[in-house]
Structure 1
Amino acid sequence: MADVRPAPLPPPDPLSTDGLVWPRDFDARYGDGLRLGVSLGGGGVFFVAWQVAYLHELAGRGIDLAGADRVVGTSAGAVVAAVLEARRIRRLHAELSVVARLPKLLGAIAPVGNLAPSQLRAAELFRSAADAEPTTVRAIGHAALAAQAPASSVMPRKLALILAFRRWPSAALHITCVDTYSGERCIVTGAAGVGIARAVAASSAVPGLFAPQPIGDRRCMDGGVSGSGTHLDLLAGAERVVVLSLTDGRGLEQGMLTSAPGSTEKESAALEASGSRVFYRVPASVDPKALMDPAAVPDAVEMGRRQAAADAGELSAFIA
């Protein structure tokens, strides 16, 4: 009798032809020739608020990071990166200051209602993942594809209301996401022909919570599933790099969210080893349980403002 078993799944194609795949590799020196690079990491509505307040305070003091040669946005940081490059930080800062408008932001980047079992399964796979091995990332991606999350059109539609612009804001903007099937890290720029709201949605599509987003022929999920929340290799070799991250990795004793203990420190060290000068800033304090809590936003805004005021002199000299 003929063997009718299905053929095994093919491995990820290392010769992708759509130009979206940028393997994580500090030796590639993706940032060579850049004078200034910026990376904005993910961290829920709390970190959106912190970053917006931080950048707004800097801008008020004459320090405009929107002039960077490359701005990398990951997950919630993709929202802020897009707004920064569109030069609309002031507008989003004003909205964050109005409590009545917070539900609009939360509705765009936080899940609404109870999660189905298939959603919980994908979310738990991501939460408990202690490494970013290809098999781990692909397993999370396949679970995300199988999850009964809201339709993929929902998240971009809500994000479009937050962004309030349609055109890709600048050639400098690089948004990270991960192919759910192959596990490959993808970088979306204006050259990809993808709408800005769709690209930001892909980078922010937490497995299980939101549907993977169609990016060309791919279905992509949160950029943080790759094992990095900042993707600093994209800036390796740049003269100067400013990093706003939820964490510097210190105190992480157990791997989670595809980040292994020590991986964040190694990534930062590798960036410095590439010859880049690095300004790395994290919030003064973070409650992991409050990342999606609207009650944490006022404190996040004040914390970001206060830290930016303290950093302004040093940062102005750093990017000069």
Structure 2
Amino acid sequence: MNERALVMGGGGLLGIGWMVGLAAAWKDAGVDLDRADLVVGTSAGSVVGTLIRSGIDLAQVTRLVEAGLGLPATALAKVMTGAGLTEGEWVSLFQAPLGDAPWPERPLRISAVDVETGAPVMWTRDSGVPLARALAASCAVPNLLPTVEINGRRYLDGGARSGTHADQAAGFARVLIVAPMGGPKYALGHEMLQKERAALQAGGSRVMVVLPDEATAQVFGDNLMDPTRIFDALESGRRQGAELAGAVREFWN
């Protein structure tokens, strides 16, 4: 059995901020998430999973989040509302910071859903898909953001099939699932996560699930795409991450 899998779920802009805060707090506590033998990322989790796999300094990332992800105000407004955002503009938001950066060397799976068939897809380093397009597709929230064309087919947010795709971690001894939308507030995501967790445990995996606590849920509110609360989400992640650091360290290390 493989040892560690890290599953990062969807959760919009605020989910990105929260998960970056968690990861930074855990790293400060001696938890290296990049030790995972597999990272699975869905939507917002694909972004944070890629950051972790790329070995980018999380302190630098937190500064970027504090600055509103480094995006122009006009771009943030378009992301928040989807108004007038073209596919090219959407992909460029991922392409600009990545440049020609290759996929990380260590195993990373990024989820999306085929618009026409509804079938899930998992892209990896071996899929021949540019990293920026894979991320843009995984984060393309239905009816809000543009779908993304890859190899002649169109794809949208992996969260349309599962908020976490934790089933991808089957066969791993330890599975750490971070799920911004895995709580009871998000009924479908919560139900799917419970099924995925039960299946992993039935297969012999130890599973730890991290969900937003009550204070974080208050920060999230009803709009996970609100860029004005990214800093608050980051700070909530740092706080919650510090509170959970001991338990996560014992589970992961």
TM-score, scaled relative to structure 2: 0.88
Q: Is the 8 A contact 1:44 1:109 kept in 2?
A: no
Q: Is the 8 A contact 1:104 1:162 kept in 2?
A: no
Deviations, residues 37-92 of structure 1 (Å, cap 9, x unaligned): 01111111111000001101111222110121110110111111111110113322
Q: Which residue of 2 aligns with 1:26?
A: none
Distance 1:85 1:250, change over 3 A: same
- How many aligned residue pairs are there? 248
Give the distance between the partners of 1:209 and 1:160, measured in 2 at CA.
20
Give the distance between the partners of 1:100 and 1:169, measured in 2 at CA.
21
Distance 1:81 1:108, change over 3 A: farther
Give the distance between the partners of 1:252 and 1:113, measured in 2 at CA.
22
Please point out which of 226, 240, 249 is paired with 1:293.
226
2:79 aligned with 1:110: yes
Q: Is the 8 A contact 1:249 1:265 kept in 2?
A: no
Q: Which residue of 2 aligns with 1:311?
A: 244
Deviant stretches of 4+, over 3 Å: 99-109, 111-115, 162-165
- Which protein is bigger by CA-based radius of gyration? 1
Aligned AA for 1:302?
E
Q: Is the 8 A contact 2:29 2:249 kept in 1?
A: no
Please point out which of 192, 207, 210 is paired with 1:263.
192
2:160 aligned with 1:237: no
2:95 aligned with 1:160: yes
Q: Which residue of 2 aligns with 1:221?
A: 156
Task: Say which structure, 1 or 2, has more relative contact order (CA 8 Å, 6+ apart).
Answer: 2
In angstroms, what is the RMSD of aligned CA positions?
A: 2.4
Aligned AA for 1:160?
Q
Give the distance between the partners of 1:38 and 1:301, measured in 2 at CA.
19
Please point out which of 70, 74, 81 is paired with 1:101.
70
Aligned AA for 1:294?
P
Give the distance between the partners of 2:181 and 2:249, measured in 1 at CA.
23
Give the distance between the partners of 1:223 and 1:100, measured in 2 at CA.
21
Q: Among the aligned pairs, what percent are the same residue?
A: 35
Deviations, residues 118-145 of structure 1 (Å, cap 9, x unaligned): xxxxxxxxxxxxxxxxxxxxxxxxxxxx
Give the distance between the partners of 1:164 and 1:58, measured in 2 at CA.
28
Please point out which of 40, 44, 51 is paired with 2:8.
40
Which ranges of structure 2 fall in alignment gaps of 5 or more residues? none
Specify the SS of the correspondent of 1:35: strand
Q: Which residue of 1 aligns with 2:125?
A: 190
TM-score, scaled relative to structure 1: 0.71
Distance 1:248 1:225, change over 3 A: closer
Specify the SS of the correspondent of 2:2: coil
Distance 1:225 1:63, change over 3 A: same
Larger strand fraction of residues = 2
Give the distance between the partners of 1:171 and 1:48, measured in 2 at CA.
21
Q: Which moved more, 1:176-185 or 1:215-224?
A: 215-224
Give the distance between the partners of 1:112 and 1:177, measured in 2 at CA.
21
